[in-house]
Amino acid sequence: MDYENLKSPTEFLKSMLATLPDEAILREYETWWEAEGKAISTAVDRGGTPWLKMFDPIGERVDEILFPASYWKMLRKGYQAGSVWRAFEAGSLIPSYLLGYLTSFYDTGLYCPYTVSLSTAVPLDKYGAKEVRERFLPQLLRKDESVWQGATWMTEAKGGSDLGAGVETIAREEGMHWLLNGEKYFASNAGAELAVVAARREGAPSNVRGLSLFLLPRNREDGSLNYFIRRLKDKIGTRSVPTGEVELKESEAYLLGQPEQGIYLILEVLNISRVANSVGSVALMHRAMIEALSFAQKRIAFGKPIVEHPLLCRQFDERVSLLKGAFALAWEAVSLLNEVWRETPPYSERYHLFRVVAHLAKYWTAELAVQTAKWAMEVYGGIGVLEEFGIERWLREAMILPIWEGTPHRQILDGLEAMERKRAHELLFTHLAPLAAPQALEETAGRVEALLDLPLEERESQAEAVFRDLAVFTAETLQNRPVTSPMVS
């Protein structure tokens, strides 16, 4: 197999997609990463958790995150390339996800700021009151260094799976604002100028129905800090995005959409990031393979490069095949989301089809990312565990992927729910029918139906194997699609 065209992520995208929009932009972005970005990214990873400057010397609270200057350069590069603004200018999410693939190939953690900024801009655009939208949205879409960042803060210290019980932040209406009080435990992209935040209205029920979504600026109207970063968290990877604990103290916020529909808006936010997680997982898988490849082409054992040893060669071939399937699956989620992202409740069948594909993609691509990063370390052998050579980084980066935006358990159970309630599996099989071998399709469909017929406890207990096989089946089926079909808008 010829691996050379794998070495460029842009080249790979081109080979996988019938048409590649923004090719020149992607090439320029890739060139920058190779020339400059990779070295910055490595330094940021090695630098570990950045410092949080909480007070200035005079004792004023400032909550400034002390990344090295080159971090900001790297970060802004992606905004300027269009990770957020292009989606609004093109009326399509495709440009964002294409750039996201490259970003994640070079620095998986860095993809997070762009994703959460996009996930802030979209609900603001869809659900923000006119004056709120007009005031804040343009800040997120600037093309220069003054661009604002977004963030999406839902989870609190009691955990994120059971959001209905876990969100204890309270929102109180007062004058033109809502005032929020509470603590957000996993505040990705802490320091962002805007955040969308889940909170419970005073007196609202203590389940998911009681949740609303709010827009929270970094600064109050009077210019003072509107939220406080209590600390940044030491993570094993994704050091290119600062994750903090954020305190809300009478923090000014703006309601997005209908107060009772908060949970739908929250799930819409998750749609965007869950798909980004899938795209990012594939890119990381890709990167880890390339790193393994470049080593295996140089390391000599028993008289020849180890990439030419039959066993390793076979593993590379299998990984390439898995990569292509994973990409096809993730990109299907992208394409479907691009059809439905402007929907508001109640949703179409297409939306439910999207949801089940997104769960399958999130689940399976993250799994492959971790497995591939682990495998790449094994290819390196002993030096694979040394920090000096950096290959271990990709496992550290990968481990967030099955966890962020819902663990495998969450994907399986939420996917199951979409099948039960919305018959999403039927939509999926209909969708796949033109591409799949009829017998395989039928057999897979039979297993899913059998699962759904089980009593609840039993159904959940046995779901994983079926869900995994469904993901693999979907990936392999989509991979068979003729490349001439127009996959992107």
For a copy of itself, which stretch binds (CB under 8 A), given 63-71, 192-200, 256-264, 323-331? 63-71
Does position 146 interact with a copy of itself (CB under 8 A)? The reply is no
Q: Which amino acid is at 441?
A: L
Q: Which of 282, 370, 427, 451 binds a copy of itself (CB under 8 A)?
A: 370
- At 361, is the secondary structure helix, strand, or coil? helix
Residue 416's SS3 state is helix
Give residues with Cβ within 8 angstroms of 133, minimum separation 6: 124, 125
Residue (403 or 450) nearer to a copy of itself, CB: 403
To the nearest 10 degrees (0 to 180), the angle between helices 310-340 and 349-380 is: 150
Task: Give dist(CA 480, CA 33) in Å, integer.
Answer: 32
**Residue 403 interacting with a copy of itself (CB under 8 A):** yes
Q: Restricting to residues 373-402, which ones interact with a copy of itself according to CB under 8 A?
A: 374, 377-389, 392, 395-396, 399-400, 402
CB of 355 to a copy of itself, least distance (A): 19
Stretch of 64-72, 94-102, 212-220, 322-330 lying at the interface with a copy of itself (CB under 8 A): 64-72
CB 464 to a copy of itself: min, Å: 6
Stretch that binds a copy of itself, among 123-131, 159-167, 322-330, 426-434 (CB under 8 A): 159-167
**Residue among 123 and 384 whose Cβ is closer to a copy of itself:** 384
The residue type found at 353 is L
SS3 assignment, position 197 = strand
Report the distance separating Cα 15 and Cα 194, nearest Å: 37
Residue list 297-356, contact with a copy of itself (CB under 8 A): 298-303, 306, 309-315
By CB under 8 A, the count of residues binding a copy of itself is: 93
Angstrom distances, CA of residue 154 to CA of 104, 116, 402, 435: 23, 12, 18, 38
Binding region for a copy of itself (CB under 8 A) out of 56-64, 114-122, 218-226, 442-450: 56-64
Specify whether the backbone of 89 is left (phi greater than 0), alpha (psi in -120 to 50) or beta: alpha
Backbone angles phi, psi at 138, to 5 degrees: -60, -25
> Would you give the end-to-end CA distance of the chain in angstroms?
31
Give min distance, CB of 418 to a copy of itself, in A. Answer: 16
Nearer to a copy of itself, 78 or 128 (CB): 78
Output 252 or 405, the one with its CB closest to a copy of itself: 405
Under the criterion CB under 8 A, does residue 57 sit at the interface with a copy of itself?
Answer: yes
Does residue 279 bind a copy of itself (CB under 8 A)?
no
* Among the listed residues 235, 16, 10, the one whose alpha carbon sits nearest the alpha carbon of residue 103: 10
Question: Which letter, b or e, does each residue of 414-441 get, where b requires 16 or more Cβ atoms within 10 Å of its Cβ?
Answer: bbbebbeebebbbbbbebbeebbeeeeb
Span interacting with a copy of itself, options 95-103, 145-153, 291-299, 440-448, rule CB under 8 A: 291-299
Whether the CB-CB separation of 364 and 471 falls below 8 Å is answered with yes
Q: Which of residues 36-55 bind a copy of itself (CB under 8 A)?
A: 36, 39-40, 42-43, 46-47, 51-55
Q: How far is the CB of 80 from a copy of itself (least distance, A)?
A: 18
Name the segment binding a copy of itself (CB under 8 A); options: 32-40, 100-108, 174-182, 194-202: 32-40
Residues 191-210 interacting with a copy of itself (rule: CB under 8 A): none
- The residues near 89 (Cβ < 8 Å, ≥ 6 apart) are 82, 141
Considering the complex, state which of residue 111 and residue 254 has its C-beta at the smaller distance from a copy of itself. 111
Instruction: Write the binding mask 438 to 467 for a copy of itself: x where contact by CB under 8 A, - elsewhere.
Output: ------------------xxxxxxxxx---
Map the footprint of a copy of itself across residues 160-179, applying CB under 8 A. Answer: 160-162, 165
Question: Are 196 and 273 contacting, i.e. CB atoms less than 8 angstroms apart?
Answer: no
What is the distance between the alpha carbons of residues 322 and 316, in angstroms, rounded to a whole number?
Answer: 10
Across 85-157, the runs of DSSP E, i.e. the strands, are 152-153
What tokens appear for 219 in the block? 């600064």
Answer for which of 235, 422, 447, 481 binds a copy of itself (CB under 8 A) is 235
Residue 152 in contact with a copy of itself, rule: CB under 8 A: no
Closest by CA to 230, choosing from 199, 181, 191, is: 191
Min dist CB 89 to a copy of itself, Å, is 31
**Closer residue to a copy of itself in complex, CB, 441/452:** 452
* Nearer CB in complex with a copy of itself: 18/43: 43
Query: CB 276 → a copy of itself: shortest distance, Å?
Result: 17
Radius of gyration of the chain (CA): 22
Nearer to a copy of itself, 61 or 342 (CB): 61
